[in-house]
């Protein structure tokens, strides 16, 4: 199975199934979630390929493409710390270009581990994906969704509790 298909299956079978993101189901079921594989093993090349996807997302109307998942198979971002460096560098580029006003990032990794949390804590599953993934979200759509959802701030804590309940309390 291709990494993009595997990642989209993860969104459907894990993220949506467990309601980790209350905003994911509608655009996913309407076919407005795209996935693009970034195959490069060169940091700079992958970085510019990811930046190009920001423009690609913004060139389309939200009713056609709401969010993009950039999937990084291979070894380039397999290390979690290297992946985080990539994410922070990417966020800086968006901020410096002004694109941060239009695009918000979410990120997922097979070895995702929240700071100060044990690696084997089931709460980390909320941000674990089959491959390193950088999600590009439209800032306006996020703002609209957040405004319409009661108690958005409780989502992360609720998700961690759900993962611990489903997959066992941290040992």
Per residue in 49-62, pLDDT tens?
999 999 999 999 99
Q: Give the global pTM.
A: 0.94
Q: In the structure encoding, which two tokens stand for residue 116, read together?
A: 């100060």
Q: What is the mean pLDDT of residues 16-27?
A: 92
Please give the structure tokens belonging to residue 163.
């993962």
Angle at 54 between CA 126 and CA 90, to 5 degrees: 65
Instruction: Tell which wins on pLDDT, 147 or 58.
Output: 58
Cα separation, 118 vs 167, in Å, equals: 14
Residue closest to 33 by CA, chosen among 75, 5, 55? 5
Q: What is the pLDDT of residue 171?
A: 46
The number of folded domains in the chain is 1
Convert the pLDDT of each residue in 71-112 to its tens digit.
Answer: 999 999 999 999 999 999 999 999 999 999 999 999 999 999
Please give the residue range of the domain that contains residue 126. Answer: 3-167
Q: DSSP string of 50-61? A: HHHHHHHHHTS-
């Amino acid at each position: 199975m291709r990494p993009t298909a595997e990642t989209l299956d993860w969104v459907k079978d894990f993220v949506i199934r467990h309601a980790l993101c209350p905003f994911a189901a509608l655009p996913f079921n309407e076919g407005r979630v795209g996935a693009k594989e970034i195959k490069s093993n060169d940091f700079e090349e992958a970085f510019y390929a990811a930046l190009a996807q920001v423009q690609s997302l913004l060139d389309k109307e939200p009713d056609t493409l709401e969010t993009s998942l950039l999937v990084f198979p291979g070894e380039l971002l397999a290390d979690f710390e290297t992946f985080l460096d990539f994410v922070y560098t990417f966020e800086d580029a968006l901020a410096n270009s002004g694109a941060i006003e239009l695009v918000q990032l979410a990120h997922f990794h097979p070895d995702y581990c929240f700071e100060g949390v044990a690696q084997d804590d089931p709460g980390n599953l909320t941000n674990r994906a089959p491959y390193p993934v950088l999600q590009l979200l439209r800032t306006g759509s996020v703002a609209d969704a957040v405004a319409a959802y009661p108690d958005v701030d409780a989502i992360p804590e609720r998700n961690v509790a759900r993962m611990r309940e489903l997959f066992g309390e941290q040992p």
